[in-house]
Amino acid sequence: MTLTVAIIGRPNVGKSTLFNRLVGRRVALVDDTPGVTRDRREGEGHLGDLRFTVIDTAGLDDKTGKSLEEGMRTQTQEAMDIADVCLFMIDARSGVTPIDEHFAAIVRKSNSKVVLVANKYESSAGEAGFYEAFGLGLGTPVAFSAEHGQGMGELHEALQKTTRGLDDDPELEDDILQDENSPLQMAIIGRPNVGKSTLINTLLDENRVLVGPEAGITRDSIAVDWEWQGRRIKLFDTAGIRRRSRVVSKLEKLSVGDTLRAIRFAEVVVLMMDVERSFDKQDLSLADLVVREGRALVLAINKWDLVKDKASMEKVLEEKVERLLPQMRGVPFIKFSALTAKGIRHLMPAVDKVYEDWNAKVKTHELNNWLREVSMRHPPPAVQGRHIRLRYMAQTKSRPPTFVLFASRASHLPESYKRYLINSLRTSFGFDGVPIRLQIRSGKNPYV
C-alpha cells in the first residue's frame, strides 16, 4: 500500500511551494497570483524516513455552478476522497478567514486524517494566525514556512503520528511508520576537522567512517544505526561547516545543505568543538541555528587530552558558555578525547537527559502555580503608568517545550521580562540544553 497525502486549502496559501519542497524539485508553478494551480498534480514525496504520494490541488473556493472554479473544486474534492492524510493549509500571516472556517467544517466530516499547517510563519506576523488556527477544530497546527523550509521536523512528526496505525500492512509499517521504540535521531556537527568522524568510530568501536588529518573528508551526511544500553540510536556524521564567505565550490555548498537537513531532522544535536579554538564565531552560529530549529543541544569539547591545566581551562569554558550562549543557559558541555575515548562515557548520558527534557510536558496547574510565584517575586514592570497582568499559562507542545502566556497588554511586555520568565522556566523545570519557546498573547477584546 502507498500512503497518499493531499495538500488542500484556499488559493495562495502556499500549497504548490510545499508540494515542490516535498517532491524535492520545482515541479508545480509558483506565483503570488491566486489560482495558478488548476488541476491536481501528483508526485513522489519524501520527508525524512517517510515516503508517500503527494497531491497538489487547486485552491478551495466557495463558488458553485458550472464554472472553471467549480471544476477546480471538484478536482480537489476527488483528491481528498483518495487521500489517507490531508494537509490543510492556512496563511498564518492573514489569519483564519471565513473561507478557511467553511472548508475546515467540510474537512472535519471527511474520512481522511488531517494535519493542520499554518504556513508563512517565518516572522512574528504569523503568530496571531497560528493561534487563531486552534479554533478550526483540526488539532494543534504545525508552524511552518514552505518557502524557507522551516518546521520540516515538526511536519514530519505530525505526519508520523497521524499515519501510525493507519494500516496493518507489515510492509507499510516497516517502510513508512515508526513505532514508539523508534531510534533517537542524533546529529554530530561542527567545523571541519574537529573530530566528528573519529567520535563516530569511537562510539561504534569500529572504523565505520573515513577519518584523516585533512579537513573536509566527510562530504555528505552518513546515517549509522547504533545501540546504546539497549536503546536504538541513529547517528548522523555530517560534513564540517565553514563560514559562508569561505564556501565557494558547488560540492561544498551541497555538503553544507546536507548538514543543515540533518540538523532539521535531528532530535539531539551534538556540537563538537576543538578545545584550542572553542566558541569561535562559526561555533556560535551553529549553536544559534540549532536553537532556532528547536533541537536539543549538547556541547562536546574534543581533544581534552591535549590540555595541561584542565582546572583552569574548565573555568574558562564555563565562563564562555554563560557569556556567549545566554539563550541556552545550563546547556551541558562534555569534555573528552574522541581519539583515546577518555571521558567519552559522559556523552550519551547527557544526550539522554536533554532528549528527555526536550520531550517533557509540564502540567497546567503546576505551570500556573509557578507563574504566580515568579510574578509575585518579580512583577512585570508598569508601562505608561499601567500594570500588565499575567493571567494564565499553558504548554501547547513539546519537542521543543512551547508555552503560551495570556496577559493584558501583551504587546507591551518587555523582552527583558520574557527572558526572565524563560530563564525561570529553565531553572524551575530543568530544561537545560533545550530551546524554550514562549508566546505572549492577549485575550480578544469583546468591545472591538
**Listed residue (166, 178, 182) closest to 1, CA to CA:** 166
Look-up of cell digits 528547536: 294
Residue 90 class from Cβ within 10 Å (0-12 exposed, 13-18 middle, 19+ buried)?
buried
**Per-residue model confidence (pLDDT) at position 23:** 84
Q: List Cβ neighbours of 149 (8 Å cut-off, separation of 6 or more).
A: 21, 264
Q: List Cβ neighbours of 163 (8 Å cut-off, separation of 6 or more).
A: 3, 50, 84, 85, 113, 176, 177
CB 297 within 8 A of CB 328: yes
Strand 142-143 versus strand 113-119 pairing type: parallel
CB 431 within 8 A of CB 425: yes
Q: List Cβ neighbours of 180 (8 Å cut-off, separation of 6 or more).
A: none
pTM: 0.59
**Cell, residue 140:** 494543534
DSSP string, 96-165: --HHHHHHHHHHHTSSSEEEEEEE--SSGGGHHHHHHGGGGSS-SPEE-BTTTTBTHHHHHHHHHHHHTT
DSSP β-bridge partners for residue 299: 271, 333
Per-residue pLDDT tens listing for the chain (448 residues): 468 888 888 888 888 888 888 887 664 444 444 444 434 577 888 887 788 888 888 766 555 554 434 545 566 677 777 778 888 898 888 888 888 888 888 887 777 788 999 888 877 777 888 888 887 878 888 888 888 888 888 888 888 887 664 443 333 333 333 345 678 889 898 888 888 888 888 888 776 654 444 444 444 457 778 888 888 888 888 776 765 555 545 545 556 666 777 788 889 999 999 888 888 888 888 888 888 888 999 999 999 989 899 899 999 998 998 888 888 888 888 999 988 889 899 999 999 999 999 999 888 889 999 999 999 999 888 877 788 888 888 888 888 898 988 888 778 888 888 989 998 998 899 888 788 988 888 755 444 4
Domains and CATH numbers, the chain: 4-175 (3.40.50.300), 185-358 (3.40.50.300), 364-441 (3.30.300.20)
Strand 41-47 versus strand 50-56 pairing type: antiparallel
